[in-house]
Amino acid sequence: MADPQAGQAAADGVTRIVEVGAKPETVREATAEAWLITTPEAVGRLIAGTTKGAPLETAKVAGMMGAKRTPDLLPHCHPLRITGAEVVVEPDEAAGRIHVTATVHAIDRTGVEMEALTAASVAALSLYDTAKAFHRTARIDGIRLLSKSGGRSGEFRAEA
């Protein structure tokens, strides 16, 4: 049988949640990003909040909710004790895009990369949900992990 601690697939092909009970709890942090690509006009409308209230603030809340609900969405994710999360939404009206970053913190036995990726994705989806009313070809791009720390695998920083 494959060593689940090494992140390998089970030899019997049966899906399972990796056993992490013997791993030490460590401070974990991960940051992810996503981009909403649209038009300068659409970004201006999102900034102004002309529909559905305050879309930029709503996206931040949606992202934090996404981080907390990650194990409900992804079958192999462990429920974690998230100690903090921040979602930053940075509109660039002239370029017609909005940059979303999400950072998640925990003290646990497994990392928070998926929580950060989910937070950034859900925040971008929230922005898309509002933008689609006036720009149907808006898209979400560039969802990726920017950095992570803690645990056995240590530090990771994505290339610029």
- Distance between CA atoms of residues 23 and 96, nearest Å: 45
Query: Can 129 be counted among the known catalytic residues?
Result: yes
Catalytic residue among 12, 108, 129, 141: 129
Question: Do the Cβ atoms of 56 and 128 come closer than 8 Å?
Answer: no
- Distance between CA atoms of residues 110 and 17, nearest Å: 12
- Distance between CA atoms of residues 72 and 125, nearest Å: 17
Helix, strand, coil % over all residues of the chain, rounded to 5 = 30, 30, 40
Burial class (CB in 10 A: 0-12, 13-18, 19+), 24: exposed
Q: Which residues are catalytic?
A: 129
